Amino acid sequence: MSTLRIGVIGAGNMGADHAKTLHRHVSGATVTLVADLDEGRAAGVAGALPGARATGDPYAVIADPEVDAVVVASHDSTHADLSIAAVRAGKPVLCEKPLAPTVDACLRVVREERRTGRPLISLGFMRRFDPAYVELREALTAGVCGAPLLLHCVSRGVSSAPGATDESSVTGSAIHEFDTVPWLLDSTVVEVSWHAPRSTSAATGLRDPHLMLLRTADGALTTVEVFLNATYGYDVRCEIVGERGTLALANPARLVADSVRTRSLGYPADWRPRFADAYRLELQAWTDAVASGGPPPLATAHDGLLAGAVAEAVIMSMKNGGRTIAVQVPEV
């Protein structure tokens, strides 16, 4: 296959960015069709891509003979059904996280893929391709800090999205950590608890910030802070405390400003500038694998099920006063 013809479902922030990245920065790929329930928005994205068409029907993308593979970047609630439809059509799919909002829905997707006997589903946990996270993992694996004992993960944003809920902050934001921590430690999360301090005065109706504790099978303990309305910028941090030292992500700011006896570093307004390289590398790796017929080196549908099981346990703890909850992963 010389050029992989890709259909993008969802023309919001993520879908539009993926379509542009595929067109501008990914070799061997072309976007042929963009879908969104708001067909005008789909047309706006497609109009910037030579030869791309637009539709208001996401399932038309999956059925289209000029689409070889599908990117699902629509609302979280649609991920499972669209991924299953793509699998049934025999088309590889890169689904944005989460795989689905519930464990039951994740399980449906995993079982459908298993029936085909082919690894058709890749999941967009892009931190696995972020150069800083990759370097962090390599240093940990090389034993630079010794055996890991504690991880401290922080995810802060400027403001919460309209319609955000306490649950969606877990399934939409914290879920990145639920994949990153096992990936870094090579150890599954076995129990969790959820806690909240006094909430910010921002009128969001959310319990924000909140803190989660994750214990992995190797005995390491991870703190996960999610603060959607931190206001000062988008800020992601990760520190690993080991037996012989620590490892931490450096501030990724590209500019240092010195003025009037003050030094300052800039923060992006959202996650996209921070992880632009990760998305590009992820999309290129997926395109290369699909075009060659090999298994993509991305997170799998089963990884999505594992992260979903952790999210479900955290939400259960949230609803039960912060009680420690064992993570239950259903049999596939």
CB-CB contact of 46 with 34 (8 Å) = yes
Confidence of residue 266 (pLDDT cuts 50, 70, 90): confident
Tell me what the mean pLDDT of segment 38-44 comes to. Answer: 98
Please check the confidence at residue 298 and state whether its pLDDT lies above 70. yes
Query: What tokens were used for 218?
Result: 């190797």
Please check the confidence at residue 254 and state whether its pLDDT lies above 90. no
Other CB atoms closer than 10 Å to residue 188's CB: what's the count? 15
- The rounded distance, in Å, linking the Cα atoms of 191 and 215 is 5
CB-CB contact of 94 with 298 (8 Å) = yes
> How far is CA 87 from each of CA 20, 41, 91, 95, 149, rounded to the nearest angstrom?
24, 26, 6, 12, 40
- The rounded distance, in Å, linking the Cα atoms of 244 and 230 is 33
CB-CB contact of 39 with 54 (8 Å) = yes
- The rounded distance, in Å, linking the Cα atoms of 9 and 41 is 12
Domains 4-126+275-299 and 128-274+310-326 share a fold: no
- The rounded distance, in Å, linking the Cα atoms of 324 and 318 is 10
Which residues, in sequence order, are bridge partners of residue 324? Answer: none
Arithmetic mean of pLDDT over the chain: 96
- The rounded distance, in Å, linking the Cα atoms of 61 and 39 is 13
Tell me what the mean pLDDT of segment 315-322 comes to. Answer: 98
Handedness of CA 115, 35, 67, 1 (dihedral sign): negative
CB-CB contact of 114 with 331 (8 Å) = no
The whole-number pLDDT of residue 255 equals 78
- The rounded distance, in Å, linking the Cα atoms of 103 and 111 is 12
Residue with tokens 């939409």: 172
- The rounded distance, in Å, linking the Cα atoms of 173 and 230 is 14
Greater confidence (222 vs 203) lies with: 222
For 123-162, what is each residue's pLDDT tens digit?
999 999 999 999 999 999 999 999 999 999 999 999 999 9
The whole-number pLDDT of residue 312 equals 98
> How far is CA 299 from each of CA 94, 97, 137, 307, rounded to the nearest angstrom?
10, 10, 15, 11
- The rounded distance, in Å, linking the Cα atoms of 181 and 38 is 36
- The rounded distance, in Å, linking the Cα atoms of 45 and 15 is 9
| SS3 label, residue 140 | helix
CB-CB contact of 176 with 209 (8 Å) = no
CB-CB contact of 125 with 195 (8 Å) = no
Domains of the chain, by residue range, sit at 4-126+275-299, 128-274+310-326
CATH superfamily, domain 4-126+275-299, is NAD(P)-binding Rossmann-like Domain (3.40.50.720)
Confidence of residue 1 (pLDDT cuts 50, 70, 90): low
For 183-214, what is each residue's pLDDT tens digit?
999 999 999 999 999 999 887 889 999 999 99
CATH of domain 128-274+310-326: 3.30.360.10
Residue type for position 263: R
